[in-house]
Structure 1
Amino acid sequence: MHLPKIAMIGAGQVGSTAAHLIAKKELGNLVLLDIDAGMAQGKALDIAEAGPVDGFDVAVTGTDDYAEIAGSEVVVITAGLARKPGMDRAELLRNNVEIVAGIAREVARHAPEAYVIVVTNPLDAMVCTVKEVTGFPAHRVMGMAGVLDSARMRRFIAEELGVSGKDVTAMVLGGHGDRMVPVRGSSTVGGIPITELLPADRLDAIVERTRHGGGEVVELLKTGSAYYAPGASITEMVESIVRDQGRIRPVAAHLQGEYGVSDLYIGVPAIIGAGGVERVVEIRLTQAEREQFDASVEAVRNLIAEARAARQS
């Protein structure tokens, strides 16, 4: 059986967690890459040694040489500096745009046919940077944002109602940050609209908690940011591509007229399969949600403009 080659750029907490989950599902043979000498090699060895216990049998190798990612069908970029308490996503841009642009050049050189999932924050600016630097077609470059944000919202709804998170659906659009747009009309529990199960004030509280979900984890950890839920979200996206599942998931996708937006990466529902972002799905928004989405689009445009300026400076 052919196993695709999957490259994880960045062997920190997010990258190594995702790599372990990808290995457990046997989605492909893995290459972990990190510039920190020994980091990727040590994490890869540790994951590989879990195989006999976890029951998976895929190759897991570590390296600091980009030549080792040659032939990768999927590349996941998690490398970059993590957000610290009190730091907003815009501040991260100045630190991470140079790192991600450098990675993008190496990916274009060594894995020119790969599908790329960007995770590094600030997400919307970083995924745009990867698209522009690699020159890859838009359907092969996407950002992991809405899958994670929606998962958080689903968990908060499940806790509020005392139900299984498996029965909860949610959809979060817009930029990956404080201006994200949780869509209430697309949130259900066992097919029942969430608006019929929760009063408006409790739903408002869940929406706000979702918007600040990443910051809540950062404040609690104090010395790092989330990695279990991001790792699981990455794995779901990788699986949808390599197993051609055609799942509708909220991702940072390149819009060309959808939602009235052109030439911009922003979180929207899309069909994810063997062709990457195969189609953006447009859903109905309320007037309030549309206004919030437009405000999020404007914020992302400004962030991307800052990223472009930083690359040129």
Structure 2
Amino acid sequence: MNIMSKIVLVGDGAVGSAFAYSVLQHGIVDELVLVDLRKTYTMGDAADLEDVTPMLYPARVYAGNYQDAADADIVVITAGIPRQVNESRLDLVNKNRQILASIVQPIVESGFSGCFVVSANPVDLLTALTQHLSGFPKQKVIGTGTALDSARLQVALSRALNISTRGIDAYVLGEHGDSSFGAFDEATINGQPLRSYPGVTPELLTTMMHQVQGKGGQIITNKGATYYGVATSLTKICQAILLDQAIALPVSAPLDGQYGLHGLYLGTPAIIARGGIRAVLEAQLSETEHQQMLASAATINSLLMAVE
């Protein structure tokens, strides 16, 4: 890379460490700083991670602090209390709001002027709070949103129809949580409308969304946490920013009139490039899907009013 790039990761837990490894595998960063309250652990993780760089791509990896964000391009926030079995993402709001406030202020005070990328849950709410707490322009604050949900939908469709995920263009929109929904009217498989693809029925699509919404909880029950998928989603967002890719990704983005909504972050396609969000896209939804988007917005708005 001709331009030196730097990412500060705040939260070196399961998601954070998986993200750090993914970033190094993709070779998109020259300097990676790990920040966590467990300083000794973070030093060990940085030492472990730097050992992969001679076999992959050169990069400096080290344990640091919030002041290291001063010249960073991106601050990734994965810090927070993880979701427990039988706990929804929205149950986490009061726990993780306090953690978020303790992170954002010192980062801003460091002189940081890059992009925030947030994956702590509930991600739509905490992304909005990061923007509010930082005072940054909305396009410079992004949440992972429904990127992971969309990947899970593509996996479910791939298995049900016995086809490669590469030919599936289908997004999950709305809240990253129980009110998410599939935008099936715009979805395609190998360029063909999803709804008319052989083997696709309304009942199948309903089953697919139930699988998507329940998969995170199932993984948590089986292994205690989910991290590979969301870590890869974070990498794709950071890659789009650092390489100025200008690609559409389903992220938690600020709505300003899209879907008739204002003043909140929700999962929707957005163009991600250098500087953050270049454009927020409005998917063409059916009336039923539009009502589902409004329901997601109502869920997030009720929480925003409670915490702000």
TM-score scaled to structure 1, two decimals? 0.94
**Which of 40, 44, 50 in structure 2 is aligned with 1:38?**
40
Indicate conservation of the 8 Å contact 1:72/1:111, yes or no.
no
Contact map agreement 2:174 2:180 (CA 8 A) in 1: yes
Can you list the C-alpha shifts for 1:249-283, whole angstroms capped at 9, x where unaligned?
11111111121111111111111101311111112
Q: CA deviation at 1:110?
A: 1.6
Q: Any conservation in 1 of the 2:66–2:110 contact (CA below 8 Å)?
A: yes
Map of 2:3 onto structure 1: 2
Residue 217 of structure 2 aligns with an amino acid whose one-letter code is G
Partner amino acid, structure 1, of 2:59: V
**Distance (Å, rounded) in 2 between the aligned partners of 1:67 and 1:11:** 17
Contact 1:22 1:235 (C-alpha < 8 Å) held by counterparts: yes
What RMSD over aligned residues (CA atoms) do the two structures have, in Å?
1.2
Q: Which residues of 2 match residues 47-196 of structure 1 at below 5 A?
A: 47-53=49-55, 55-63=56-64, 65-196=65-196
Deviation, 1:16, is 0.9
SS of the counterpart of 2:185?
helix
Q: In 2, Cα distance between the equivalents of 1:206 and 1:141?
A: 30
Q: Deviations over 1:214-267 (max 9, x none)?
A: 22211222xx32100011100000000000000111111111112111111111
Matched, 1:225 2:225: yes
How far 1:67 moved relative to its partner?
1.5
Deviation, structure 1 residue 111? 4.4
SS of the equivalent of 1:76 reads: strand
Amino acid at match of 1:144: T
* Partner amino acid, structure 2, of 1:203: L
Matched position secondary structure for 1:186: coil
Instruction: Report the equivalent of 2:218.
Output: 216
* Alignment partners' CA distance in 2, 1:139 and 1:207: 29
- The Cα shift of 1:46 comes to 0.8
CA distance in 1, matches of 2:307, 2:117: 18
Shift in Å at residue 146 of structure 1?
1.6
Equivalent residue letter for 1:3: M
Between the aligned residues of both structures, percent identity stands at 31
- Alpha-carbon offset, residue 188 of structure 1: 1.9
Distance 2:98 2:26 in 1: 33
- Structure 2: which amino acid aligns with 1:35? L
Give the TM-score, by structure 2 length: 0.95
Q: Which amino acid aligns with 1:17?
A: A
2:173 and 2:288 mapped to 1: Cα distance? 13
Aligned position for 2:283: 283
Residue pair 1:146, 1:251 contacting (<8 A) in 2 also = yes
- The number of residues matched between the two structures is 304
Distance 2:107 2:196 in 1: 47
How far apart, CA to CA, are the structure 1 residues paired with 2:248 and 2:226?
Answer: 24
For 1:107 and 1:191, how far apart are their aligned partners in 2? Answer: 44
Q: What is the match of residue 311 of structure 1?
A: none
Structure 2 partner of 1:252: 252
Q: Give, as a single letter, the amino acid of the residue that structure 2 aligns with 1:97.
A: R
Deviation at 1:205, TM superposition (A): 0.2
For structure 2, list consecutive stretches of 5 or more residues without a partner in the other structure. Answer: none
Assess if the C-alpha contact under 8 Å between 2:145 and 2:266 holds in 1. Answer: no
Aligned to 1:13: 14
